[in-house]
Amino acid sequence: MVALNIAIVGAGIGGPAAAVGLARNGHNVTLYERTPSIGSVGFAFRVTPNSDRCLKFLGIDALAGGAVAADLCRMMTSKGELLGEFRENQDPERINGGLSVFAHRPALQKQLIDEAKRWGAQIKTGVEVTSVDVPRCTITFADGSTSTVDLIIAADGVNSCIRPMIINSSLYSLKTSTGHNCLRATMPLQAILDDPITSHAVNDELRLLSWHGDDKIIIGYVVDNGRLFNIVCAHPEELSNGETSSGDDAESTGSENRISLDKAREIYKDFDKVAVRLIELADPGSFRVWKLMDMDDISRWSADRVVLLGDACHPLVPFGFSGASMAIEDAVTLTELLPADVNLEQVQGRLQLYERIRKPRVAKVRDQSRLVASNFKQPGGFKAFREFLDNHDAAEYAKQELKKQAHASPEVVVDEAH
């Protein structure tokens, strides 16, 4: 049994998750990240039960890292009239070991990186990958040095530099399929509790508030052990075009996509005064605006022993709360398909199985995420979608699919683009 030498490019969410699972399987994992430090910046996101189940499989307890359970959630019209309240974690059977939580991205990244290191993964920051020689499985870095490995996992985000080496990128482009831009900001929860307009908006039980307009939406929730409040607001792109830079990495915090408080207030001025006040209370320096991009199915996710993961192969608009969740599921799937006893000859076939397992699920999530944006007030089929999303156990599913393949035939490698 010989461990694989695996290079993972990108330490966002999917890269570190894959590093944990594959290092735990006994492989020699090196994770390369171009930014000088990991987990020092970023916003929050919703971890649905399917991805919390995956995190637990990887040994990560998001709540212990400061994530906040989605206890009571309140939905309102843009004017503040109640549409409904729901408890995400009420039905233990439905959530089946996975909770719905709000995670602060830097905290979750730190948990994943610490766990990856504990299993022996090497983490190299400030190292940019510039290209990959697919047949040779060789990476070239910005300083001109190279590294040849057994497997390259490209988890380098929406603007992946490795994707064009796997597919003919002129056939597939990032698109603003729903026509929305999205603004995010954070503020101390205490500022909300101290403000007369917002002091009753959240409490120890009520953790999420959302205001649903015709073509705009504001969602706010508590993160970071109850210290921070994160707001996510989507609006038609023409209202903030010129403020965004297209196709930013999902969590880019570059100054090029800042937006002023005045502009943010102007966009949402017709909303309930509590929602507008939340925007006013946000740390003005924390405002960022993103052009929301996704992509149609690409022809393949792997070539030889180079494979794409997360936003690199399936960027999603965030209305299904699933970009990071799908990246984590990808990582867990690869973990199950590449156990300690896998040999080099089997790797390509396993990558093709990974793609067959993951593509249909991700396509459904992408389509539903687009659909939500067509009617923020009454997203069609949302309940059925949440069941489809939440009930999945990516590790168990991959294990069963691998068993099925082993019984069906010896492992086959398909040569053409599949």
Ligand X SMILES: Cc1cc2nc3c(=O)[nH]c(=O)nc-3n(C[C@H](O)[C@H](O)[C@H](O)COP(=O)(O)OP(=O)(O)OC[C@H]3O[C@@H](n4cnc5c(N)ncnc54)[C@H](O)[C@@H]3O)c2cc1C
Binding residues for ligand X, rule: CB under 6 A, are 9-15, 32-35, 45-46, 128-129, 155-157, 161, 182, 184, 232, 249-251, 290, 310-312, 318, 321-325, 327
Instruction: Tell the smallest beta-carbon distance from residue 165 to ligand X (Å).
Output: 12
Instruction: Tell the smallest beta-carbon distance from residue 163 to ligand X (Å).
Output: 10
Residue 229: which of 208, 205, 252 has the closest Cα? 208
Instruction: Tell the smallest beta-carbon distance from residue 129 to ligand X (Å).
Output: 4
Following DSSP, what letter does each residue of 371-408 receive, concatenated?
Answer: HHHH-SSS-TTHHHHHHHHHT--HHHHHHHHHHHHHHH
Residue closer to ligand X by CB (options 302, 405) is 302
Alpha-carbon dihedral angle through residues 202, 204, 205, 210, given to the nearest 10 degrees? 20
Measured over the CA atoms of residue 39, residue 319, residue 237 and residue 247, the dihedral's sign is: positive
Instruction: Tell the smallest beta-carbon distance from residue 271 to ligand X (Å).
Output: 18
Following DSSP, what letter does each residue of 274-287 receive, concatenated?
Answer: HHHHHHHHS-GGG-
* Phi and psi torsions of 55, nearest 5°: -60, -40
Residue 206: which of 218, 222, 193 has the closest Cα? 222
**Ramachandran sector of residue 93 (left: φ over 0; alpha: ψ -120 to 50; beta: rest):** alpha
Closest residue to ligand X in the complex (CB) = 12
For residue 375, what are the contacts with CB-CB under 8 A and spacing of at least 6?
Answer: none
Residue closer to ligand X by CB (options 392, 405) is 392
Alpha-carbon span 36 to 124, nearest angstrom? 9
Instruction: Tell the smallest beta-carbon distance from residue 14 to ligand X (Å).
Output: 3
Residue closer to ligand X by CB (options 35, 405) is 35
Alpha-carbon span 376 to 234, nearest angstrom? 10
Residue closer to ligand X by CB (options 249, 304) is 249
Instruction: Tell the smallest beta-carbon distance from residue 194 to ligand X (Å).
Output: 27
Residue closer to ligand X by CB (options 255, 409) is 255
Instruction: Tell the smallest beta-carbon distance from residue 113 to ligand X (Å).
Output: 11
Alpha-carbon span 394 to 57, nearest angstrom? 10
Written as six digits, the tokens of 65 are: 């890292």
CB contact at 8 A, 295 and 172? yes
CB contact at 8 A, 6 and 153? yes
Residue closer to ligand X by CB (options 109, 405) is 109
CB contact at 8 A, 228 and 222? yes
Q: Which residue has the tokens 């992408």?
A: 366
Axis crossing angle, helix 323-337 with helix 14-24, rounded to the nearest 10: 20
Instruction: Tell the smallest beta-carbon distance from residue 250 to ligand X (Å).
Output: 4
Instruction: Tell the smallest beta-carbon distance from residue 328 to ligand X (Å).
Output: 8
Residue closer to ligand X by CB (options 247, 284) is 247
Q: Which residue has the tokens 């080099």?
A: 344
Q: In what order do the strands lie in the sheet with 306-308?
A: 122-125, 28-33, 5-9, 151-154, 306-308, 302-303
Instruction: Tell the smallest beta-carbon distance from residue 416 to ligand X (Å).
Output: 27
Residue closer to ligand X by CB (options 45, 271) is 45
